[in-house]
Amino acid sequence: MARIVMKFGGTSVADLDRIRNVAARVKREVEAGNEVAVVVSAMSGVTNQLVKYCQDLSPLHDAREYDAVVATGEQVTSGLTAIALQEIGVEARSWQGWQIPLRTDGAHGKARIDGIEGAELIRRMRAGQVPVVAGFQGIGPDNRVTTLGRGGSDTSAVALAAALKADRCDIYTDVDGVYTTDPRIVPRARKLAKIAYEEMLELASVGAKVLQTRSVELAMKERVRVQVLSSFEEHTGGNLPGTLVVDEDEIVEKEMVSGIAYSRDEAKVTVRHVPDRPGIAAAIFGPLSAANVNVDMIVQNVSADSMTDMTFTIGRSDLARAQAILAAHQAEIGYAEMLTDPDVAKISVVGVGMRSHAGVANTMFAALASKGINIQVISTSEIKVSVLIGVEYTELAVRALHTAYGLDA
Amino acid sequence: MARIVMKFGGTSVADLDRIRNVAARVKREVEAGNEVAVVVSAMSGVTNQLVKYCQDLSPLHDAREYDAVVATGEQVTSGLTAIALQEIGVEARSWQGWQIPLRTDGAHGKARIDGIEGAELIRRMRAGQVPVVAGFQGIGPDNRVTTLGRGGSDTSAVALAAALKADRCDIYTDVDGVYTTDPRIVPRARKLAKIAYEEMLELASVGAKVLQTRSVELAMKERVRVQVLSSFEEHTGGNLPGTLVVDEDEIVEKEMVSGIAYSRDEAKVTVRHVPDRPGIAAAIFGPLSAANVNVDMIVQNVSADSMTDMTFTIGRSDLARAQAILAAHQAEIGYAEMLTDPDVAKISVVGVGMRSHAGVANTMFAALASKGINIQVISTSEIKVSVLIGVEYTELAVRALHTAYGLDA
């Protein structure tokens, strides 16, 4: 017997047939002797419609009213899922954030969870009732509904799993797990049985969007074991069918590299011939930060005759804004020239095994060189090596690295 | 300066343009120096969709889950209306039933209001904020969302007006007031400036469905002055544009008859040759009542040789069920024959003035006789005379009576 939180995303509850399918899955877990709590998103499309209503009425709408409106999508599916469960003989009831209560801070539209009262839910689960919790929402200090930001239902589920001391949090989605890389690029990509929290965070932040980043951070902090699995495939007993996101220590045989991620949403900016003096980095990045332009990789070349070049990457959608900001601050920064390139991609190799393996970066550079791919920028962290290359080489690079690190199935 | 509750039905908030129109109306009342609270229904069609979801998943769904699902429609419009008000510079915030709180009993799906905490709303109205309350719902003793039954937003509005000690409750709808009869049948029907609660109740219960019956009962009990008016017409200052539903004492010049109502949804049942003994009425109507068949008019003929005939009317949709029930109880009741007629209509003349005028019923009988219309059943109350006639005479009878009581414009 285990205690499990099962979370279903918008495509998994998109219509009544899929809600019935969700109920059948929950019933199987209950009949296997488990205590189950369910977290649901809104039917796919509903949240977008509600957001659009708010934006059409007022581009700068009150975030508290936005929350009151947008949170209703999950309230509908939690009630419908409870009805579907009751219909097949599973005792169930819906819970809205304010009823649990699931308390958040007052940052409407992007609230953070402060705490969840789990005692009553645990009592009911022990008595055989399945709580069906409306995801994505809670109640703020002002006694008003708050939402956790887009994709927040993943975070609801992980937080609930922590509060209920669940053995596992199963996130049902439209993919069947986490892969060594994008199977659309590398058909021989393998599904990972386990992946460490840190690896999942690095993979998510470079574009392998299976779980909301905040939910992984929370799972890591609270040590919640998360399984990513498909709500559209039949799973038959035995091993866990999806990918388990767990603490590094649970992964006995650590591969040097667990996965290859890529992002094509990058742009490169080079500010040439800037005075090499203390405070120059702050002069460049301060105005960008103030305008909420997120800077990722940064490289500063070795100084020559007291002048230097600064290269960095930003999201491509921020490029026009960043150019305008830097142009406005040219005198202050004192650069001679600004160069930009929107046609770049970031390729990353990720693995907690890097900590105990040498030569990971070198394998990468050699593999790319053998394909004639030029590396424009390099950045490394404890469990990741990223490079910036021309966007047209993306697929070639990902395939070469997948083979070079022995990840092919 | 007055304190006004403004209630807008589903067609008045059917899309964003209409919500903007609602906001503009509210703004005009605020700018006229009034303290305003708003009650909104769900966008038209939304509640039906949500009800259908519940029914499709389970015909015998849990009413508590039904309430959680169906109440979201009004939550959406309350948030959107608050945003629309803020957008045109009117301070506003949405309120859900549990936030006020608006407390109800635990009869999910058809809850009755127990009480409303009005103090905080009054404080905010005095400070210039417009509360926008989600109609149709409250919170039950189980801390779960309850709904008040279809059309319940009228009742929410009247109850709120009572709790806020409002001077008036304006119900915006798709008609511009209460008429002396249905203008589709009598083009010369007149809009009434005022009508008494009791008259409104009698007119509503016989098919002039402008306000939910419960809301009128509540208004009468709490002495809330209710105005029915159109949300699609422009009203320009001066007199109240709609029909005011008020205490009888407020109506100085009482007409003998205020209106003519009709209902075509009737069926007539005659049980012939039943033993004329004590308890026979209970033997007939007990089983019908137990099966929730509502009996309206009842006539018992004078007894001959210890036998009698019993005639009564029921809703036409209940006819098949009533026939089956009576057939099953034939031995017990001891009747010889059952006759039914689904082709009947009930015509009623209503007016508090009847209390002080003689000859009201006779005028009715004479007018119908002059058109050759046969009266099948007669029933009278203090402020109403109803007759049952062949359904094909409905329009002819309504027109004749409208003229006979001097109601033509």
Q: Is residue B255 part of a domain?
A: no
Q: Is the domain of B132 the same as that of B154?
A: yes
Residues of B in contact with A61 (CB under 8 A): 83, 86-87
Residue B75: exposed, middle, or buried by beta-carbon count in 10 A (0-12, 13-18, 19+)? buried
Mean pLDDT of A55-59: 95
Which of B61, B80, B98 lies at the smallest CB-CB distance from A83? B61
Same domain, B342 and B316: yes
Splitting chain B (409 residues) into consecutive groups of 10 residues, what average pLDDT does each group show? Answer: 95 96 96 97 96 96 97 98 98 98 96 95 97 98 94 94 97 89 91 92 70 91 95 72 92 84 93 88 92 89 81 93 94 93 95 86 94 92 93 96 93
How much is the pLDDT for B239? 72
A93 to A37, A132, B141: CA distances (angstroms):
10, 6, 16
pLDDT of residue A391: 95
| Residue A255, in any domain of the structure | no
**Yes or no, beta carbons of B78 and A68 under 8 Å apart:** yes
Q: Which residue of A has its CA nearest to B132?
A: A65
Structure ipTM: 0.84
Nearest CA in chain B to A82: B65
- Provide the pLDDT for residue A357: 80
Judge whether B409 lies within some domain.
Answer: no
| Among candidate residues B94, B96, B81, B95, the one with its CA nearest the CA of residue B24 | B81
Does residue A254 belong to any structural domain of this protein?
A: no
B196 shares a domain with B221? yes
Nearest to B69 among A62, A66, A80 (CB): A80
- The CATH number for A55's domain is 3.40.1160.10
Q: Which of B64, B69, B99 shows the shortest C-beta gap to A76?
A: B69
CA A153 to chain B, closest CA, distance in angstroms equals: 18
Last residue of a domain, one of A230, A249, A268: A249
Tell me, what CATH number does A339's domain have? Answer: 3.30.2130.10
Closest C-alpha among A203, A252, A245 to residue A224 = A245
- Which residues of chain A have a CB within 8 Å of the CB of B61? 83, 86-87
Q: How many helices (H) and strands (E) are present in chain B, helices listed first?
A: 13, 18
Terminal alpha carbon distance of chain B = 34
- Produce one character per residue of B135-147: b if its CB has 16 or more CB atoms within 10 Å, e if not: bbbbbbeeebbbb
- Nearest CA distance, A178 vs chain B (angstrom): 33
Across-strand partners of A378?
A387
The answer, yes or no, to whether residue A206 has pLDDT greater than 60, is no
Q: What is the pLDDT of residue A381?
A: 87
Residues of B in contact with A83 (CB under 8 A): 54, 57-58, 61-62, 65-66, 69
pLDDT value of position A10: 94
- Please report how the helices A197-205 and A213-222 are oriented relative to each other, as an axis angle in degrees rounded to 10: 170
Cβ–Cβ gap B86/A16 under 8 Å:
no
Instruction: With beta carbons under 8 A apart, name residues in chain A contacting B85.
Output: none
User: Which positions in chain B touch A51 (Cβ < 8 Å)?
Assistant: none
Is A58 within 8 Å of B87 when comparing Cβ atoms?
yes
> Does the beta carbon of A109 lie under 8 angstroms from any beta carbon of chain B?
no
Does the pLDDT of residue A372 top 70, yes or no? yes
| Domain shared by A293 and A230, yes or no | no
Q: Which residues pair with A169 in a beta bridge?
A: A5, A226
CA distance B142 to chain A (A): 10
Most confident of A128-142, A305-319, B219-233, B307-321: A128-142
User: For A353-380, what is the mean pLDDT?
Assistant: 91
Closest chain B residue to A76, measured at CA: B69
Where does the pLDDT of residue A300 fall: very low under 50, low under 70, confident under 90, or very high at 90 and above? confident
Indicate whether A409 belongs to any domain: no
* Nearest residue to A351 (alpha-carbon basis) of A178, A228, A230, A227: A178
Please list every residue in chain B whose beta carbon sits closer than 8 Å to the beta carbon of residue A76.
50, 53, 69, 72
Whether residue B83 and residue A64 make contact (CB cut-off 8 A), yes or no, is: no
Question: Would you call A75 an interface residue with chain B, using a CB distance cutoff of 8 Å?
Answer: yes
Higher pLDDT, A83 or B174: A83
Q: How many Å apart are CA B257 and CA B263, to the nearest integer?
A: 18
Q: Which of B53, B86, B144 sits opposite A80 (nearest CB)?
A: B53
How far does B125 lie from chain A, in Å, by closest CA? 18
Please give the residue of chain A at the shortest CA–CA distance from B78. Answer: A69
Average the pLDDT over A313-323 and give the result: 93
- Contact (CB<8Å) B75/A80: no
Q: How many CB pairs under 8 A join A and B?
A: 107
- Is residue A297 domain-shared with residue A216, that is, in the same domain? no
Q: Which residues of chain B neighbour A56 with C-beta distances below 8 Å?
A: 16
- pLDDT-derived band at A238 (thresholds 50, 70, 90) equals low
Share of chain A above pLDDT 70, in %: 97
DSSP state of A179: B
**A338 within 8 A of A273, measured Cβ to Cβ:** no
CA diameter of chain A:
79
Output the pLDDT for position B237. 58
Rounded to whole angstroms, the Cα distance separating A351 from A364 reads 13
Contact B80 A65 (CB under 8 A): yes
d(CA B54, CA A172): 23
Helices (H), B223-318: 280-290
Give yes or no for B93 touching A (CB within 8 A): yes
CA distance B196 to B223: 11
How close, in Å, is residue A141 to chain B by CA atoms? 13
pLDDT digits (tens, 9 = 90+) for A30-44: 999 999 999 999 999
Q: Which residues of chain A have a CB within 8 Å of the CB of B72?
A: 72, 75-76
Judge if B309 and B399 occupy the same domain.
yes
- Is the pLDDT at A89 greater than 60, yes or no? yes
Residues B44 and B180 placed together within one structural domain of the fold: yes
pLDDT value at A382 more than 80: yes
* A197 and A266 housed in the same domain: no
- Which of A165-174, A238-247, B101-110 comes out lowest in average pLDDT? A238-247
Q: Is A43 within 8 Å of chain B by CB?
A: no
CB-nearest partner of A143 from B53, B57, B99: B99
Nearest CA distance, A112 vs chain B (angstrom): 21
Q: Does B14 touch chain A (CB under 8 A)?
A: no
Q: Are residues A194 and A325 in the same domain?
A: no
> Is B61's Cβ below 8 Å from some Cβ in A?
yes
Neighbouring CB atoms inside 10 A of A114's CB total 15
Is position B276 within any domain? yes
Residue B104 CA to residue B101 CA, distance in Å, equals 9
- Whether residues B211 and B235 fall in one domain: yes
CA dist A92 and A378 (Å) reads 52
Give pLDDT, residue A150.
Answer: 75
- Rounded to the nearest angstrom, the minimum Cα separation between A67 and chain B is 8
Residue B85's domain comprises: 3-250
What residues contact residue B27 under an 8 Å CB cut-off, 6+ apart? B85, B88, B89, B90
Which residues 120-179 of chain B have a CB within 8 Å of chain A? 143-145
Identity of residue A297: M
State the nearest Cα–Cα gap between B30 and chain A, in angstroms. 20
CB contact under 8 A, A62 and B83: yes
Choosing among B15, B80, B145, which should be mutated to test the A contact, i.e. which has the most A CBs within 10 A? Answer: B80
Q: Show which of A185, A218, A249 is a domain's final residue.
A: A249
Q: What pTM did the predictor assign? A: 0.85
> Residue A54 and residue B80: Cβ atoms within 8 Å?
yes
Q: A65–B86: do the CB atoms touch at under 8 Å? A: yes
| Helix locations, A260-318, DSSP H | 280-290
Residues B368 and B361 sit within 8 Å (Cβ to Cβ): no
Last residue of a domain, one of B231, B250, B269: B250
State the total domains in chain B.
Answer: 2
Contact A406, A189 (CB under 8 A): no
Are residues B105 and B226 both part of a single domain?
yes
Please tell me whether residues B62 and B80 are part of one structural domain. Answer: yes
Q: Does A16 touch chain B (CB under 8 A)?
A: yes
Q: What is the least distance, in Å, from the CA of A310 to any CA of chain B?
A: 44
Mutate to test the interface with A, among B16, B62, B117, B144 (most CBs of A within 10 A): B62
Q: CB distance from B325 to chain A under 8 Å?
A: no
Nearest chain A residue to B67, by CA: A79
Is residue A133 assigned to a domain? yes
